[in-house]
Structure 1
Amino acid sequence: MPEKTTPLRAAPALRRFRLRVILGLFPAVLLLTGCIAEPGPEATLPGNSTAAATGSPGVPSTSAPLETTQSSNKAPVYWIGRSNGSVFLYREFRDVPDQDNPVTRALRAMMSEKPLDPDYFTPWQNPEKLASSISGKNVITVDLSEDAFNSNLDADMAVRAVQQLVYTATAAAASSGLIDSGQQIQVRVLVDGHTDYVAFDHVQLGDPMSRAAGLVAPVWIIDPQEGTDMAGGSVKITGRSTLAGGKLAWQILRVEGNGDKTPYLTGETTAGTEAAHSGLFTLALSLSTGKYELRVAQVDAGTGQQLNVDTRTFRVG
């Protein structure tokens, strides 16, 4: 007998529903975003590609905590990009139209808009049809038309594209208070109502999928987002590393009017180890008016080498 699902209503109704369900939910911490270099087809996916796409065992264990409930109408949207020769998932919060439910509008943004950070990209195309619903068992069902897959991808990139959808759908449902983060959360993808579609000619759809571990960026800068204008004085920077307790090196470069970059501040910090704040880091810096680039990297404990550099450009004043 088909599992009963509840269509997601428009935003006003969702806000009323949210008030009834969010209390006591979502202990997880926020995810972070980062910058990467140009994408390319040669990056490899650790483990079995089908297992990675479906969130099955055999994929590395580093995963991203589920987003927490937020009052903002901004939608969490995941993009794809490169770090150290491998391709990872990165997130931005985006302003989106309010006419659709949170999951649908976040996925629509993922498939139709450009990332704020020019280093991110998405292989998805804007589909003619896109809808979503959530069952009582925390399964998000996404039904979209075939035109969303009009990109030529290799097997590894196809896996990441499918996981990009899974991460975005679960993030949108969690941040809007529509799912119980204390239970397993899965996403089932239908194409024109059918369960037998092979995404990008590589990934079989239809079965419920969860977030695959090992696909989030090793270092994330959550705030500021790319191109943000910040008030002068004390500037707060937050981020996350996948290595809790690991050393991080950071650098602030001042960006001149001609594009030249001059070292301005440098330092080190340590990613948090507390259960509720694992991998998180915070910097409070005093910056004068101007344009800056922030760089954060993991530091190898044995060699001292800086790995997985993440960058972000922003303005102060």
Structure 2
Amino acid sequence: MNNQPNDPFDELMRRSLAEEADRIEPTDALPEILDRAHAVRRPVARRPWVVTAGLAAVGTAAAVGAFTVFNGNFNTADEGDAVAGQGTVTSAGGAPTTTPDTPRSEPTKAPTVRPSEATSASPQVGRGMPEQVVSNKAVPVYWLGSATAGKPTQKAAPQTRSSTRLYRTWSRVNGRPAYQAVRIMTSKQPSDADYYSLWKGAEVGSVTLDGAVVTVDFKRFPEGRVDEETAHLAAQQLVYTVQGALEDSTRPIQVTQRGRTGVRLFGQVDTSLPLGRAQALDVQALVSIESPTEGALVSGGVVTVQGTAAAYEATVNYRATNLKTGKQYSSVVNTSEGQKFSPFTIELKLEPGAWQIEAYLLSGEDSSVSDLDTKTIEVR
């Protein structure tokens, strides 16, 4: 520590300060300090909790806005309110302008009618164009019949598949061919008693062409209920008849009753959608005689028998029996192709009298008759 002599100047300063301090009287200056602090406005730094609260408020507003945009289908605006939905922006002038959205295409399923909903209140089908009128045209008409349509003169094989098949006959018509063919199928009796139709009592109203579909509208459906297999075969009877008359096997058949779909045919077949064509091997008779027809009167000694068959190795058996004398002629004839529906022709020299002609296939297991069609004719 330095011990220096007293400086006269320092001594003079101490005395002056002491005298000045003695003249000061202490008072409470806190209120004055606070007043001065409030009077001077200084920039205040935002505290962290203030910033956090502000962000939360902005986030809430954004969430509300997003709900309004993406749920616009559930919001309505009062008059004068401007609601900005998805794909819209607001211009500087305040008028809303639209920007094109890219649409999201989703596959649309065609409406169908569940079986439980198939009632008279089903959707109505639009009408198409009518058929072209024809004159004296031969059209096919299909009928139901046993796979052994007739009584064979020898043992028949037990049937392991459907015992009911479709048999084709021919009719000449004037007017609209499919309409006339359906009218015959529903109101006429086939000449062969071995054939029949479940469409008795039905009344056809019109047959129209609706693009790729043919619509057959009935004023009245056939009454009655049958088992499912027979019902579907009867539906194919209609499909084959209409398509055959139109000479077009590709167009499905939409069945309606007074313009409405969904009513079940025979209590089984749903008509809410068009009916397609079943495979011929599944529904048609594997052998049938189409000429001469049942009960025909044939002049001359030579009888020409024509038919179709889907025969193994293209072989069709035939037999002609004189119903009075019991005389028989039998042999085989070949179709143009095997295992496929193809025509066959048989030439028979027959004496006058009543004859039963049989065309049939033989079972590969026991050589019994598996498929057969018969016709009874009178030779003069």
TM-score when normalising by structure 1: 0.69
Asked which structure has the greater CA Rg, the reply is 2
1:297 deviates by 1.2
CA distance in 2, matches of 1:305, 1:187: 38
Pick aligned residue for 1:6 from 119, 125, 129: 129
Please state if 1:271 is matched with 2:353. no
1:235 deviates by 1.4
After TM superposition, what 4+ stretches of structure 1 lie above 4 angstroms from structure 2? Answer: 1-4
Does the 8 Å CA contact 2:141/2:168 hold for their aligned counterparts? yes
Pick aligned residue for 2:202 from 120, 127, 143: 127
CA distance in 1, matches of 2:222, 2:367: 42
CA distance in 2, matches of 1:170, 1:263: 41
Please state if 1:82 is matched with 2:82. no
Partner of 2:311: 243
Please state if 1:160 is matched with 2:226. no
1:220 deviates by 0.9
CA distance in 1, matches of 2:336, 2:365: 20
Amino acid at match of 1:294: I
Please state if 1:144 is matched with 2:207. no
Partner of 1:114: 189
CA distance in 2, matches of 1:194, 1:250: 47
Does the 8 Å CA contact 2:323/2:354 hold for their aligned counterparts? yes
Partner of 1:24: none
Structure 1 alignment gaps of length 5 or more: 16-71
Does the 8 Å CA contact 2:319/2:329 hold for their aligned counterparts? yes
Please state if 1:287 is matched with 2:350. yes
Q: Secondary structure at the match of 1:262?
A: coil
1:237 deviates by 0.9
Amino acid at match of 1:254: N
Please state if 1:312 is matched with 2:375. yes
Structure 2 alignment gaps of length 5 or more: 1-109, 111-124, 149-158
Does the 8 Å CA contact 2:314/2:338 hold for their aligned counterparts? no
CA distance in 2, matches of 1:82, 1:169: 22
For each residue in 1:177-213, what CA deviation from the matched residue of structure 2 results, as whole angstroms up to 9, or x when unmatched?
A: xx4x6xx222111111112111111110132222212
1:148 deviates by 2.4
CA distance in 2, matches of 1:290, 1:152: 42
Amino acid at match of 2:235: V
For each residue in 1:106-160, what CA deviation from the matched residue of structure 2 results, as whole angstroms up to 9, or x when unmatched?
A: 10111111110011111113334521112343x2110112x32212312122111
Does the 8 Å CA contact 2:201/2:221 hold for their aligned counterparts? yes
Partner of 2:169: 92
Partner of 1:103: 178
In angstroms, what is the RMSD of aligned CA positions? 2.5
CA distance in 1, matches of 2:172, 2:232: 27
Partner of 1:49: none
Amino acid at match of 2:216: V
1:231 deviates by 2.0
CA distance in 2, matches of 1:103, 1:315: 32
Amino acid at match of 2:176: N
Instruction: Give the structure with the higher percent helix.
Output: 2
Does the 8 Å CA contact 2:319/2:328 hold for their aligned counterparts? yes
Does the 8 Å CA contact 2:204/2:216 hold for their aligned counterparts? no
Does the 8 Å CA contact 1:244/1:272 hold for their aligned counterparts? no
1:304 deviates by 3.1
Query: Which structure would you say has the larger RCO, counting Cα contacts within 8 Å and 6 or more residues apart?
Result: 1
Pick aligned residue for 1:205 from 247, 271, 274: 271
Does the 8 Å CA contact 1:78/1:92 hold for their aligned counterparts? yes
Does the 8 Å CA contact 2:288/2:307 hold for their aligned counterparts? yes
Q: Does the C-alpha gap of structure 1 residues 278 and 217 become closer, same or farther in structure 2, counting only changes over 3 Å?
A: closer
Which sits farther off after the overlay, 184-193 or 265-274?
265-274
